Chains A and B, each alone.
Chain A
Amino acid sequence: MSSSLAIEVTGLGKTYGTLRAIEDLSFTITKGEVFGLLGPNGAGKSTTLRILITLLRPTTGRATVLGHDVVQDAAKVRGLIGYVPQERAIDRFLTGREHLVLLGHLYHLPKLEAQERIKNLLKLVELEDHADRIAKTYSGGMKRKLDIACGLLPNPQLLFLDEPTLGLDVQSRLRIWDYIRGLRDQGITIVMTTNYLEEADLLCDRLAIFDEGHIRVIGSPKELKAGLGGDSLSLTIHNARPDMLERLSAGLKPLPFIRETRTKDNVIHVKVDSPEKSLPAVLEIASRVDCQVETIEYHRPRLDDVFVAYTGHAMKGEFPEVESE
């Protein structure tokens, strides 16, 4: 296997009794990228993540993390990765610092090195002032920050985040996104699950769309959106006659950045490559052929559209629960 691969998954499947959680998944994740597993609850993304971090054994297929098999070399894999679980996996009777000290021992860090790392991590997640308070008193956002510090303690090359901003308020969410970008800039490979389209769109270099235990499509958010045929422009023409629309359509077709045109009643739909070039040109041609434009709608495909296109249904729930900082 190539050394630029962080993760390689082939034919991965997991069955619980008769329930197939995931089926025949194959994909690779390159070192240094932020890779998103996107999908609704129960789509199989958490199962996939749990197999990759060695907490679940696959029923079929295999997966390697940084070149080590997640079943045979589980202990080796555990030592190389960091994990931030979905639940606020916090012991409410321990202080923030005690969490990190405990984990330092579990990663077998020498005392001085552990102290040094803990100091830096508390600074990174801005918990220095609260480090010696019992976690019971932490807000949702602070618990999440502590979670992330715990995930980073082993100094991992590969960090797994399970729903990193689930249930957080807007401010905390933005802060967590900043950390994730910062980590990517340091060259850490990040694998995260999310059911927030916006989050996947903003953070992920590439993502896999999960639905009913299958990966429907993999690509960068940009590619996926472009794959839907580009942006679309709809013009409604005042007092339109069919011949006016035909002339407009004929005028637009030769332009290089126009992909296709379609007319219906008094509306013309145009698929375009870039808004900057197409908008002025379309308006200019419209006025040249005496079409009076009543309204213009510009639609850029969003990840929602990608999701619908590949799964056949909409993904519910944009940031439903909110917990205050």
Chain B
Amino acid sequence: MTTQHYRQEVLALTMRWVRRLSREKFSMLFTLVQPMLFWLIFFGNLFQHAADTQVFQVENYMSFLAAGVVIMTVLNNGLSGGVDLLFDKENGFLERLMATPIHRTSIILSRYLFVITITSLQILVILAVAFLFGVTPETGLLGVAVILFIGMLFGIGLTAISLALAFSVKSHGDFFSVLGFLSLPMIFLSSALVPLAAMPGWMRAVAFLNPMTWVIEAVRPLIISGWAAALPQVAIAIGILVVFDAICLYGGAQAFRRAIG
């Protein structure tokens, strides 16, 4: 196995995901548009007047919501990152790939490259749409880069969970049940939609244990406050994500080995 071979495999497999997405135009549209349309524009405008500026600490609810929508997108993309491999497993394509002399990790790596690229593009589109509604990130372009980096770190762990699930479940029915069970509580038991301070006590306690909260608490000041407020939060988030990713990757690797060996 040379690095040249490895690069050839990973590139070809990644291009397959890109090609598939471009063939599924309908799905592509939904993937890209759904989070900003639904959450950012509808939710943002709907709650603009209901939102109490005392609670949210900002004039524009959308500027508060932007961080939540960015991270919800990372959550959804990450948790569904394994779906295509699950379908490959179910229709035998994965077996065909595994019977070729490729390095086992190139399939996983291709999936990561694809999910991270798509997610980053979506984050940029969301921030652009928010910008049109008057939300300008206080930390500028460098802040946007940090948001992309944090999103990527969070996405790595989430995709690992999704892949582990894909390799462990019996059918895609099971997969989507678990996914649905996982994703909504992750959103509502975090500070995506309302600040921690405004939550009932028990919810706040649970939200503290949700890594998603910490990620949002780092992204939000990057958008609405500035570097001074954001830096300590970013440091905490990165620390938490490193641990989170390590656990998820370990679990994912175990599931992968069990399924393949």
A residues bordering B, Cβ < 8 Å?
53-55, 57, 75-76, 78-79, 81, 83, 85-91, 93-94, 98, 101-103, 105-108, 134, 150, 154
Contact = CB atoms under 8 A, between A and B. Distances in A.
A282 B143 CA distance: 99
A106 B9 contact: yes
B8 A105 contact: yes
Contacts of A86: 92
A175 to B, nearest CB: 21
B95 interface: yes
Contacts of A107: 100-101
Given A75-B1, A91-B93, A102 B12 contact: yes
Contacts of A54: 99
8 contacts: A79-B101, A85-B96, A87-B91, A88-B91, A89-B93, A94-B23, A106-B13, A107-B101
B102 interface: yes
Contacts of A76: 101
A175 B251 CA distance: 46
B101 A89 contact: no
B29 to A, nearest CB: 15
A105 B96 contact: no
B101 A87 contact: no
Given A78-B100, A87-B92, A106-B97, 15 more contacts: A81-B99, A85-B96, A89-B93, A93-B19, A93-B20, A93-B23, A93-B24, A98-B16, A101-B12, A102-B16, A103-B100, A105-B9, A106-B9, A107-B100, A107-B101
Given A83-B99, A91-B93, A108 B16 contact: no
Contacts of A85: 92, 95-96, 99
Contacts of B19: 93-94, 98
Contact of A90 (B5, B11, B13, B93): B93
Contact of A53 (B5, B92, B97, B99): B99
Contacts of A75: 1, 101
A239 B23 CA distance: 78
Contact of A78 (B88, B92, B99): B99
Interface in B1-42: 1, 5, 8-9, 11-13, 16, 19-20, 23-24
B261 A89 contact: no
Nearest to B100: A106
Contacts of B16: 91, 94, 98, 102
A88 B16 CA distance: 18
A105 B12 contact: yes
B98 interface: yes
B261 A57 contact: yes
A53 B101 CA distance: 11
Nearest to A101: B12
Given A79-B101, A94-B20, A89 B8 contact: no
A195 B16 CA distance: 34
Contacts of A55: 95, 98-99, 260
A108 B95 contact: no
Contacts of A154: 100
B23 A90 contact: no
B175 to A, nearest CB: 18
A129 to B, nearest CB: 20
B232 to A, nearest CB: 46
